[in-house]
Amino acid sequence: MRTTRRTTRLSDQDHYNTQTIGDTMSDYEDDIDMEDAPRATSEVLFSAANTDSKGKRSAANLPVEAEDTLPWVEKYRPASLADVSGHQDILATINKFVDTNRLPHLLLYGPPGTGKTSTVLALARRIYGNRNMRQMVLELNASDDRGIDVVREQIKTFSSTKQIFAGSFDKTQNDSIANFKLIILDEADAMTSVAQMALRRIMEKYTANTRFCIIANYTHKLSPALLSRCTRFRFSPLKEVDIRRLVDKVIDEERVNIAADATDSLVTLSKGDMRRALNVLQACHASSTPLNIPGQPVQDSKDVRHDLITLETIYDCIAAPHPADISNIMQTLLTTANVGSCLNTINTLKRTKGLALADILTALGEQLAELEVPTQTRVAWLEGLAEIEYRLSGGGSETIQTGGLVGVVRNGVGMMERAGA
Ligand SMILES: Nc1ncnc2c1ncn2[C@@H]1O[C@H](COP(=O)(O)OP(=O)(O)OP(=O)(O)O)[C@@H](O)[C@H]1O
Ligand SMILES: [Mg+2]
C-alpha cells in the first residue's frame, strides 16, 4: 500500500506525526497519489477563517442586513446560553464548566432541532465574545469535507498552535478569554471512521490548547474511544412548554394571526423539534398572507392583514391527518362488522383528504392506545399495526396494507366480542 507523504507545509514534528498516523492506520480512505495531485499553494492560516475558502459563513456569523429575509429558525436562533429553551440541567453544568474555566471535551447528541448547534455556538460566544470567535473557534460541519485529510491538516494545525494573541484582547468587553481554542465538529456522525480514529490522539495530545465539541444525532455512529474522551450530554426532545415559549415569542414579534387551539396543536405536532415548529409556523404565516392584486400598489408589510391560521391550516401544512378524520375511521372500524364497508370508508377518506396510510397508521395507533380494552385485544392491535408499518416501509402496496389494517382492528374487536359473549 502506498502511504501519503506530505512534507512541504508541515514542521518536522508534524511531519513525524503525520507519518505515524499514516503508517499505523490504514490509509484506504485516502490512498491517493499526491505526486499527481495539485499542490495547495496558499499558506495554512491558524484560524477559523481557514474553513472559509469557499466563502462559507458560520451560522454564528450571519450578516446583520440578512436578518429580515432570514428564515425564522435562523432569525430566532438563540444568541446566548440564556436564550436556549429547556435543557436547564445541561446549561447549568456547561455554565459551571465555563465559570471555573474547566471545560472538558463535550459531546452533545440527540434528535434534530433540539438546540445542539445553537448551544455550542452560544457557548463559544460566551467564552470568547463575538469579536474573538473567528480566531478561536474552528467550526466544521457535514458541509465540509471531514475525512482523514482534514483531521491531519486543518484540525491538527489549528489545535497544535497556541493562541498567540492571548491576553491582548480588549478586556473591557467583559469577555473571559480562555487560553484554549474550541473545535466544533458538528454532525460528527458523518465523519469517516478513519478520521475519528485519527482524532483520538489529537484530542489527547492538544488538550492544553484545545477543547473539542462534538455534535451528533446518533452516538452509535461514533467511535467508542472518542465517546469515552468526552463529557456527554443528551439533548432530549424539547418539552411542550419550552417549545411554546419560543413559539409565543415569535407569534408576538412577527404578529402572526393564529387561533389559540392552532398554537396548541402546532406545539404538540412538532414532537419536541423546535425547528419543525418554527418552520411550520412560518409556512402557515406565509400562506395566510393575502396575495397582491395585480395593478394595485404593493402594501407595506406592516399594514397587511393576515388571515387567521386555524387548526386545519396547521394540519394541512404538517400533512398530518386531522383528528376528526381519524376518529371517524376508528369508529367505523370498531362498530362496522362489514369489512367491505370499512374499506370503503377508509379509501374514500384517503382519496378526498389525500391521506397516506403511513400517517393514518401512526395517528390511529395513538387513538387506539387510549381506548380501554382487554390486554389480548391491545396486544393484537399493537402487533398488527407494527407489522403493517414495517411492510409499508418496505414497499408494501397501499391497497393491500389498508386491507391488512382493517383485518387487524376487526380481529381485535372479534376477540373482545368472543371474550364478552
Ligand atoms: N432549545 C432551543 N431553544 C431555542 N431555540 C431552539 C432550541 N432548539 C432549537 N431551536 C431553534 O431551532 C433551530 C435549529 O436548532 P439547532 O440548529 O440548534 O438544532 P440541532 O439540535 O443542532 O439540530 P440538528 O441535529 O438537526 O443539527 C435554531 O435556529 C433555533 O431557532
Ligand atoms: Mg445541528
The whole-number pLDDT of residue 291 equals: 75
Q: Which ligand is nearest to the CA of 236?
A: 1
Distance 243 CA to ligand 1 centre (A): 11
**Mean pLDDT across 276-281:** 93
Q: Which residues are within 5 Å of ligand 2 (an ion), measured at CB?
A: 117
The whole-number pLDDT of residue 2 equals: 45
**Mean pLDDT across 259-287:** 92
**Phi, psi torsion values for 138, nearest 5 degrees:** -110, 115
Contacting residues for 72 by C-beta, under 8 A, at least 6 apart: 250, 254, 278, 279, 281, 282
Which of 76, 83, 114, 244 has most ligand 1 atoms within 8 Å of CB, for mutation?
A: 114
- Scanning 354-397, the segments in alpha helix (DSSP H) are 357-369, 375-393
Residue 412 has pLDDT above 70, yes or no: yes
Residue 168 has pLDDT above 80, yes or no: no
Between 421 and 83, name the one with better pLDDT. 83
Which of 73, 117, 118 has most ligand 1 atoms within 8 Å of CB, for mutation?
A: 118
Give the least confident one: 200-209, 264-273, 274-283: 200-209
Q: Name the average pLDDT for the chain.
A: 80
The whole-number pLDDT of residue 245 equals: 93
Distance 183 CA to ligand 1 centre (A): 19
Which ligand 1 atom sits closest to the C-alpha of 84? Answer: 3
In sequence order, what DSSP letters do the residues of 338-352 get, joined into one string?
A: -HHHHHHHHHHHHHH
Q: Which ligand is nearest to the CA of 121?
A: 1
The whole-number pLDDT of residue 300 equals: 67
The whole-number pLDDT of residue 29 equals: 38
**Mean pLDDT across 98-118:** 92
Q: What percent of the chain has pLDDT over 70?
A: 78
Q: What percent of the chain has pLDDT over 90?
A: 44
Distance 41 CA to ligand 2 centre (A): 32
Q: Which ligand is nearest to the CA of 275?
A: 1
Residue 25 has pLDDT above 50, yes or no: no
Q: Which ligand is nearest to the CA of 90?
A: 1
At 233 the three-state DSSP class reads: strand
Band (231; pLDDT cuts 50, 70, 90): very high
Distance 63 CA to ligand 2 centre (A): 20
Distance 90 CA to ligand 1 centre (A): 15
The whole-number pLDDT of residue 299 equals: 66
**Mean pLDDT across 327-345:** 92
Distance 116 CA to ligand 2 centre (A): 6
At 110 the three-state DSSP class reads: coil
Which ligand 1 atom sits closest to the C-alpha of 87? Answer: 1
Q: What's the pLDDT tens digit per position in 352-409?
A: 888 899 999 999 999 999 999 999 999 999 999 999 999 999 999 999 999 999 999 9
**Mean pLDDT across 76-83:** 92
> Atom 26 (ligand 1): residue with closest C-alpha?
112
Q: What's the pLDDT tens digit per position in 291-311?
A: 777 777 666 666 677 888 888
Q: What's the pLDDT tens digit per position in 35-50?
A: 444 444 444 444 444 4
Which ligand 1 atom sits closest to the C-alpha of 73? Answer: 31
Residue 192 has pLDDT above 60, yes or no: yes
The whole-number pLDDT of residue 148 equals: 80
Residue 189 has pLDDT above 90, yes or no: no
Ligand 1 binding pocket, CB closer than 6 Å: 73-74, 76-78, 84-86, 112-118, 217, 238, 246, 274-275, 278
Based on the number of CB atoms within 10 Å of its own CB, is 75 exposed (0-12), middle (13-18) or buried (19 or more)? middle
> Which of 204, 125, 194 has its CA nearest to residue 159?
204
Residue 17 has pLDDT above 90, yes or no: no
Give the least confident one: 213-222, 253-262, 289-298, 318-327: 289-298
